[in-house]
Structure 1
């Protein structure tokens, strides 16, 4: 609960409530206080003690919180109930509906000065913006949530920090995203604040940027850590629905503390439901590792599972990214037509501002498929488009490989000078596999 209002605000509130109830200052004061004291209090010339406010609240038939802050405990609990409703909408993929709910809740939280609830609404709005691809707006919401939580312990701030990092990642700013996630992980592990949920969120979120930077060893390690930390939950959506119904009943009966406890459980489960997106990323990572080891059938299974989980969450950007990896495996398994169909679908969902690395991946694969079909003109066109996308995003690992593919194609079609140029560009972008230009990998979590 927030701090109490200024004396003059409290004074006006006491006077309004007293008049509404038809009480005199004497009736409000007795037997403990004098009418003169109530008069001074109503004029805002005295800062009432907690005891005085409790006495007056009892005489007015309201709770202490409502008198001191202007908001009833019921109002706060009702706000929390509606926050879990918005969380449910977001967790089940109804981002537009969730946005409308969170926007209204943010305005109410601000009006009543409820900082914690403001932060929750801002986090929700940030996640909605990521889901709909409005990355700049998402980042602004996460920054505001961080500001609200500036005095909170690090695990409480992790969702806002992670949201900001993901917004940077999806905008193609890979190094900065990794820096944010790694430094937060290190701080958490160093401080001994062993918060499995916060760690799971961070390890799962850093996988995508690692992959795009060519730091595959780090990505594989982060995926295994995340899967080891993953909560063993049957169906969080069902349990959360039960807690929400219970909270409604308790609220109707005026049992606010118990309703609050039920809502906290529901909110926790909706968060775990959103973690499904993160866990889908871990299946995606496993699929990638199988693909690297040439276990293509297992890779296809894992990547299809990841793609299905992400599509069910309506995580359009992520499901497009997983689809590119899946298409690569399908092509290698001789299913080129299925792969090409998947990739053309992906290119409809992505843009240079939003998923540049994966757009490039789709063009690269379509180029390879075109080369296999002896369509060198289409292949070259796809490679050149992929190259310009990767140069903008600074994804060095992929650039070197793409320059080799383009060079080989140019050499085969007799354009030796152009081929040499492509190879030179590629050499300038080589990175050792499994590394980034950053410091050492984050410490292992306390499993």
Structure 2
């Protein structure tokens, strides 16, 4: 097993049953997922948490394997039964052999915006029109659904308005079921084990709740829209590849009422609000340095994996109960590339070459990190105060750079300026930035608890 996986917060899978216990050990069965809590002085022995039972204790590295990441590609779908714009006769041809409950969903050609559920029953194919009404879907105007995923889930357990329970999906050619992939790799969680608490925020794409999963405090993002849920599948897949103490950890996902993404709970919220609500009176310059170093270490890890975040900003950094800063929001994360999707870029945080030519790289992330440092040492101020986005683009291209925040250590402002070099190649790597920050940290007294 790769050594870098066995770090605090890393997850692994049991290769065998372990039920005859020595003092301090925990029991687990083959396939159980465990989270590493900390290393011990004994080589190959770790303190771990069994995600299934909630027990904490010692485990041996030799009995564990790396938790498999999800392979993300355009073939992976939350709706493998959705065939897009095909006609009724085409659907009939696809639903063979004619077993009761074999089904697919297609876009309605006759009624744009509506869908059709095509179900095989008694040797025939029945076409049920799915009407889009008041932002919800319905077949009979008595049972309403937020999305197609919910509808298929309901009719897989109840007949309701249709002739038979949906037994088997006719998957679109070349498409893989996300549910099957998530289940196979151990990332699919059980809704019955999730206790949802109060809403702790509302994003552009859905509510975020506080919750509890198997005794662990979690944050839960619920995305109800089919199309958005499908796009968030990419973010989830990226998160399954990442294991680091300064990246927000994914526990898994639940496919019900759309998509639930379950992550560790970060009690102190996002970095902008954390800094603004406490300010200089409560947070010392040493603590700001610690936060800067935490983020840098998370980004150095992404750099080592050749992944580009593309949306690094203080709003996307979350702060844990014990004031550890962790990078989150991996929705735009990709390998070094030219941006191909039409994504609205955060102008004040995005490097000039990325804004102009959509050239994203680790070095464009370094530019964004410089802006994040400015946000951090200004205690959460908005970058480029009083400037419009148009002004920011024009002035930065002409060579303008922000002044140092009030009372910012000169060495930190020098780091920011280094991140804002015009030529990407002249900007430091995250590895070099981490070295410099560590030296600055070593010259300070250890920060006190906030």
Report the TM-score range of the alignment, normalised by the length of the smaller protein. under 0.3
Higher fraction of helix: 1
Structure richer in strand, relative to its length: 2
TM-score by length of 2: 0.22
Larger Rg: 1
Q: Which has the higher contact order (CA 8 A, sep 6+)?
A: 1
